[in-house]
Chains A and B, each alone.
Chain A
């Protein structure tokens, strides 16, 4: 099992550009989450999904969109990048019968 994987590891974007952060898991987990972690801070939930075709907003969804067409993949889309979106983004997944969330390695995003 590769667990939760994320690509890219690091990206620099110009203001106004768009990009998709990829997240995939091979554990057949129903629940998937996107968090952002600003320097010196905890993780804040952006979006989550309880299964293919079902997504909902978390604490800080503005400026982001998600989709969940398969159980494995949960991409995060930034349409118009802003400096405030400079952060480290973590994807996580969880089996519905357990509480433990498994995190991906993160994507570091710098918007200039």
Chain B
């Protein structure tokens, strides 16, 4: 089955700096890669996603890149703000069908004011 590894497990950055979270996946059949943000005690919420036919996607301060050959994908947050502090999860799945999603173990991001 699919295996998703996520690094780092914790990340502290100064407000205004950039944060990068990296994930690798094992199943070459995976073709959909969502990223979720989970604030303390809250539900996971989708912040950005990318399909395997796209190398990069950007939404304001958030961007995701995908390298299918290396089976790597990354989340980039620029100009970080204190409200970006949360746990971020990457995931990989086969879009379509019942969509079995495999999650990474999460990165706790702390933005220091």
Known: A99-B34, A105-B43, A106-B43. A40 touches B106 (CB 8 A): yes
Query: How many residues on the A side are at the interface (Cβ–Cβ under 8 A)?
Result: 22
B81 at the interface (CB under 8 A from A): no
Contact mask for chain A residues 95-107; partner B; CB cutoff 8 A; 1 contact, 0 none = 0000111011110
Q: Pick from A33, A40, A42 the residue with the most CB of B within 10 Å.
A: A42
Q: Give chain B's interface residues, CB within 8 Å of chain A.
A: 1, 4, 6, 32, 34, 42-46, 49, 89, 91, 93, 95, 98-101, 103-106
Task: A99-B95, A103-B44 are known; give 18 further A-B pairs, CB within 8 A.
Answer: A33-B101, A40-B105, A42-B103, A42-B104, A42-B105, A45-B101, A48-B100, A56-B98, A58-B100, A59-B1, A90-B44, A94-B99, A99-B34, A99-B49, A99-B93, A99-B99, A101-B101, A105-B43
